[in-house]
Amino acid sequence: MSRRNRMKRLARSQVVFLTALLVFLPGHNLYATEGAPGMHEPERRAADLLARMTLTEKIGQMTQVGQFEGGIPDEAREALKAGRIGSVLNEVNVNVVNEMQRIAVEESRLGIPLMIGRDVIHGFKTVLPIPLGQAATWNPELVRKGARMSALEAASSGINWTFAPMIDVTRDPRWGRIAESLGEDPYLHSVLGAAMVKGFQGDDLAEHGSIAACAKHFAGYGASESGRDYNTTNIPENELRNVYLPPFHAAVDAGVATIMASFSDLNGIPATGNSFLMRQVLREEWGFEGFVVSDWASIEQLKVHGLVANDKEAAFEALGAGVNMEMATSTYANHLEELLEEGRISIQQIDEMVEGILRVKFRMGLFENHYTDPSSYPAVSNPEHLAIARITALQSLVLLENRNKVLPLKKDTLGSIAIIGPLADDGYEQMGTWVFDGDAGVSQTPLSAIREFLGTDVRVNHVRAMETTRSRSVDGFEEARAAAEASDAVIVFLGEEAILSGEAHSRADIDLPGSQAELVRVLHGTGKPVIAVVMAGRPLTLGNVLESVDALLFAWHPGSMAGPAIADILFGVESPSGKLPVTFPRMVGQVPIHYAHKHGGKPATAESFKHMDDIPVRMPQTSSGFVSSHLDAGFTPQYAFGYGLSYTEFSYSEIGLSGNRVALGEPVTVKAVVRNTGDVEADEIVQLYVRDLVGNVTRPVKELKGFQRLRLQPGESQTVEFVIGPDDLAFYGRDMKLINEPGDFHVWIGGSSEAELRAEFTVTSD
């Protein structure tokens, strides 16, 4: 029997099974349509089902286990039959998944299907740029499409739940997980995180190809002290609410099915045991109706944190705080029953947690469709998916330097080109950090794409020069120098391998590792134009190479289609349009450095640094005045949030408001004219920033409140318009309530957070 027919048969037997229930169990019907008036269907069905579950079955739904080695062992079969497992993570063999679903649905008493979880973070077989790179596209529709494509590929293996998006705002490039984040800004995070949720979940969680999303890590993980992963966070409630929580609120509003509790300690109460986060904020204030899963063993780790003395107390705290499902460990399975017998927890607490899980399973349509027929999905890595990966990579590339317009390179005037460096031809490393399933065989590398683009007309002199980015050896440098000398221009591929960022891969020194800076100096010494392409999972401190390169293209880890995307930019098939979703420091000691900082009482200004104009910033000064700065790094970043060059220039002018006075609660419209003043057709990301001059708590010097991607022909101009509503101006004040205040505001429209075109308005209380 073909796979497809077998699937159909499995599906049919399910229908027969359901029909039998409907016919033979009147009054015990889990699937009947009548119910409490006003209850939505998944809620009613979840309540019905819950009413007939045993305690063991309930705790089973709260238990997620890791994949089984080599098929499904007998104990696991027994556990599935007994309803002691609600979810499995990391099983990607579709036959094993279908068999597990069959046991759960057809051999267990109540036939509850499983949620099959996997970290599908930036693609499945086809790999998109790392999330930080996707954020550099500032393109929510593209980000949504990428998540949709990933969902379709993952769903074809039986996965119905991804642990994404990660929407941890972070201002610390040392933190390895910055690669998985969408950068430093709450607004950009909110817009793009919601787009990912919509991509994974589709319009309807039950539709074919939708998988449940999981917004993580709730909350504050991005503030891990010193950027060391899993470290403590201390975040005042005001900052938590204004900076770290908004992306999660946006994900909840976008209908995210699940949330993952963070590993991290938040102000003394680890997030996994934190009822302020999961009960007060998430459920009471935001009305979240999905469920919370712990992070890997994070309930058990409440003991390691020193919050509780043993596993039983860990289960007690996590349940009380509102964690519905335990990932990887068994404190719920081992201790909830005992806690219940002792009267320390109530059955209502357990019911509430289980009902949340069941509601999601019903919303997902799992009871109707739990088997996977791979042939009902588009093939993985099909041309359409590769095209999405390619355009996302293309739009994620940020041009940081382009002296004397060395880029784009012109094929016609080149006789030969040197391609140097450890990341020029590595199909695996270009994929980035979360690539459990990524297929390096699909990857197109820069070297292969450049060769293909140039054909036989231009000679390509390729030298790897370093074994890895971390190599200290300079043995390959002579060969690299010779290749550069024999070429008209040099493209050097630098950065970090994928393993240098991501979970548990933080760095204290964020310079280019190994002897890469020396390699760049050697190449620069040849007098040939040197174009650096840097692939990395985080912002790097680039000061020690900037003097030696003519152009620098920051590529993050661009994924499967890195090669064609980079070639298109280097040779001017398309103009770069990515903008930084995170500030690049000059020196690591400036961290945290971000654009939306507070003004402070003694702010540094360009004026206070006038006397330093001719002095290299790295030289310690004896004084920069009594202002907030570093003696050796000044106060400005290397590259600001929102920055990125193009092959054309854009001018901004004629900023205007619908009115200079606006009543509290009313919107104000702001317009400006953007003109392509250069001679290349290109995209520009127009950004809107606002400052609230006086607040009941101090407010950031600028906050992103809108952006638009425009395409303009040379000489073309367009009027852009943004509506700033009361929600955009609201913030959490002293009493931790969301407030709007009357007062004066500044608004900027421009091409980066350093935009200068400004207008002013006043919000009046009448």
Of 119 and 437, which CB lies nearer to ligand BGC in the complex structure? Answer: 119
Of 271 and 357, which CB lies nearer to ligand BGC in the complex structure? Answer: 271
Handedness of CA 29, 30, 35, 36 (dihedral sign): positive
Of 36 and 504, which CB lies nearer to ligand BGC in the complex structure? Answer: 504
CB of 216 to ligand BGC, least distance (A): 6
Dist CA 516 CA 494 (whole Å): 7
Dist CA 626 CA 602 (whole Å): 7
- Do the beta carbons of residue 114 and residue 101 sit within 8 Å? yes
CB of 211 to ligand BGC, least distance (A): 14
Of 295 and 429, which CB lies nearer to ligand BGC in the complex structure? Answer: 295
- The 128-167 contact track toward ligand BGC, x by CB under 6 A, reads -----------------------------------x----
Kindly state the number of chain residues that form the binding site for ligand BGC, as judged by CB under 6 A: 6
CB of 119 to ligand BGC, least distance (A): 5
- Do the beta carbons of residue 370 and residue 101 sit within 8 Å? yes
Q: Tell me the three-class secondary structure of 311-362, residue by residue.
A: HHHHHHHHHHHCCCEEECCCHHHHHHHHHHHCCCCCHHHHHHHHHHHHHHHH
CA distances to 68, 71, 187, 446, 471 from 501, in Å: 28, 32, 24, 21, 17
- The 75-114 contact track toward ligand BGC, x by CB under 6 A, reads ----------------------------------------
CB of 329 to ligand BGC, least distance (A): 12
Residue 229 lies near ligand BGC (rule: CB under 6 A): no
Q: Name the closest residue to ligand BGC (Cβ).
A: 163
CB of 350 to ligand BGC, least distance (A): 24
Q: Position of tokens 């201390």? A: 234
CB of 314 to ligand BGC, least distance (A): 17
- The 455-494 contact track toward ligand BGC, x by CB under 6 A, reads ----------------------------------------
Of 276 and 296, which CB lies nearer to ligand BGC in the complex structure? Answer: 296
- The 590-629 contact track toward ligand BGC, x by CB under 6 A, reads ----------------------------------------
Q: Is 572 helix (H, G, I), strand (E, B) or coil?
A: coil
Q: From the list 119, 168, 184, 265, which residue makes contact with ligand BGC (rule: CB under 6 A)? A: 119
Of 119 and 265, which CB lies nearer to ligand BGC in the complex structure? Answer: 119
Alpha helices of 397-439 — where are they, by DSSP H? none
Q: From the list 107, 253, 337, 503, which residue makes contact with ligand BGC (rule: CB under 6 A)? A: 503
Dist CA 426 CA 423 (whole Å): 6
Return the residues of window 250-309 that contact ligand BGC according to CB under 6 A: 295-296
Of 119 and 311, which CB lies nearer to ligand BGC in the complex structure? Answer: 119
CB of 596 to ligand BGC, least distance (A): 25
Catalytic residues: 295
Run of H or E including 454: helix 446-454
Q: Is 644 helix (H, G, I), strand (E, B) or coil?
A: coil
What strands, in cross-sheet order, belong to the sheet with 214-218? Answer: 214-218, 258-261, 291-293
CA distances to 669, 725, 733, 745, 764 from 740, in Å: 17, 11, 9, 12, 11
CB of 118 to ligand BGC, least distance (A): 8
687 by Cβ neighbours in 10 Å (0-12 / 13-18 / 19+) ranks as buried
What strands, in cross-sheet order, belong to the sheet with 661-663? Answer: 661-663, 758-764, 743-750, 682-692, 703-712
Dist CA 386 CA 211 (whole Å): 20
Run of H or E including 386: helix 383-396
Q: From the list 122, 216, 305, 507, which residue makes contact with ligand BGC (rule: CB under 6 A)? A: 216
Q: Is 471 helix (H, G, I), strand (E, B) or coil?
A: coil
Return the residues of window 566-595 that contact ligand BGC according to CB under 6 A: none
Of 163 and 371, which CB lies nearer to ligand BGC in the complex structure? Answer: 163
Q: Which residues contact ligand BGC (rule: CB under 6 A)?
A: 119, 163, 216, 295-296, 503
